[in-house]
Amino acid sequence: MTPDMTSNSTSERSEAYIALGANLGRREETLREALRMLNAHAEIEVLRVSDLYETDPVGYADQPPFLNMAAAVGTSLAPHKLLEAMQDIEDRLGRVRDIRFGPRTADLDLLWMEGLTIASEALTLPHPRMHERFFVLIPLADIVPEQEPSGLRTLVDDSLIELGEASGIVRFGPPLFP
């Protein structure tokens, strides 16, 4: 079995980490619905979720603040199939892709999956900018176990130290799920 396969792998279950964000509409309800939709998928189970954080936009600044969080999911889907399921959820929640880094009803990013390295047109793992962003790292720090074996905990801790004092992010509320 290769790490970048695109077919389902029903015999093995992997743990994946997803960043969720929203800055249009009813942000909290949208994120709650995204988690519900992930968990309702036959091959995805939401295992842990972070607190909610309100964050300043990055990249395109002329937009409302985001609510961000992270989720750990167990899945039997291969990485590309998990990404497809996540993009389907974004679409069902009204995501429009017209401005890069622009406003969105729902944004689900696959950040990490069992330490796999994938570089394809559709997917890059680990997520190429996650180590630069407080709005990803701080929620991940909430849910990545201390003894996580694939190296994600070390990456999160080291990146937070390197970035220094957090800015543009405040705790907004407790986890939305279950």
Q: Tens digit of pLDDT per residue, the chain (178 long)? A: 333 334 444 458 999 999 999 999 999 999 999 999 999 999 999 999 999 999 998 877 788 999 999 999 999 999 999 999 999 999 999 877 666 666 788 999 999 999 999 999 999 999 999 999 999 999 999 999 999 999 999 999 999 999 999 999 999 999 988 7
Q: pLDDT value at position 61? A: 76
Whole-model pTM: value is 0.90
Distance CA 172, CA 102 (A): 21
Q: Domains of the chain (ranges plus CATH)?
A: 14-173 (3.30.70.560)
CA distances from 128 to 12, 73, 111, 168 (A): 26, 20, 8, 20
Decide: helix, strand or coil at residue 116. coil
Distance CA 106, CA 115 (A): 25
Distance CA 14, CA 131 (A): 22
Q: Which helix (H) or strand (E) holds 30?
A: helix 27-40
